[in-house]
Amino acid sequence: MKPSHCSRLCSMAVAILTLGACASGPTIRSFEHDGVDLSRYQTYGFYEHPSGDAGANAVPHFIKAAISREMQNRGYQHRGDGPDLLVNFHLQTEDKETVSTSPASYFGWRGGYHWAANPVRDDAISSYTQGTLNIDIIDRSRNELVWEGVAIGIIKDESLENPEPAINAVMAQIFERYPLPARAATSAGQSN
């Protein structure tokens, strides 16, 4: 990756995951492959170079740690060599604009008649960046997607200095859609 693209991707990763701190939060979606029993898997690992791994920046580390915590809370053990499930994550941004129009017409009374001046549009253009974070979980032996979680929302700047809590919050929201419920964190393994 080019350094400018890498730094933009890392900044986007931080910002997208700050969505957990927003009042409304991100839109969360998930997909589960029909007929797959996710409780039959025991181990997970990460692709050697996940799509969202932008190098030396701490954000991919926080993402992997949050995914590991969620997977371990569901009874999976991390295994670097030959795991049952492989995890990939991908980050994407898109710059967007919204235009809101409000009338600036003048209404009044003159000589007992109601009249209106020609309507004038008052356009306000707002720019924002929409971010998408995908978490893909693949059956390694069949090379088949068995579950996907997605967070989509407007990127905010509030948590850029301390991204880890926001990343943890969004990851918890994504994994609320996972078919296996989380167990108490004390009963799950804590290795990464």
pLDDT tens for residues 17-73?
445 444 467 899 999 998 899 999 999 999 987 665 555 567 788 889 999 999 999
Which residue(s) pair with 114 in the sheet? Answer: 109
Q: How many CB atoms lie within 10 A of CB 169?
A: 20
CATH of domain 3-97+128-187: 3.30.160.670
Residue spans of the domains in the chain: they are 3-97+128-187
pLDDT tens for residues 86-95?
999 987 778 8
Query: What is the predicted pLDDT for the residue at 9?
Result: 46
Q: Please name the residues in contact with 140: beta carbons below 8 A apart, sequence gap of 6 or more.
A: 45, 82, 83, 84, 85, 86
- Return the structure tokens found at 131: 């971010």
More confident residue, 128 or 137: 137
Is residue 43 within 8 Å of 83, Cβ to Cβ? yes
Per-residue pLDDT band for 8 (boundaries 50, 70, 90) equals very low
Distances (CA, A) of 183 to 41, 57, 176: 16, 30, 12
Distances (CA, A) of 20 to 12, 16, 140, 184: 14, 9, 30, 21
Query: What is the predicted pLDDT for the residue at 174?
Result: 96
**122-131, 168-177, 179-188: which has the minimum mean pLDDT?**
179-188
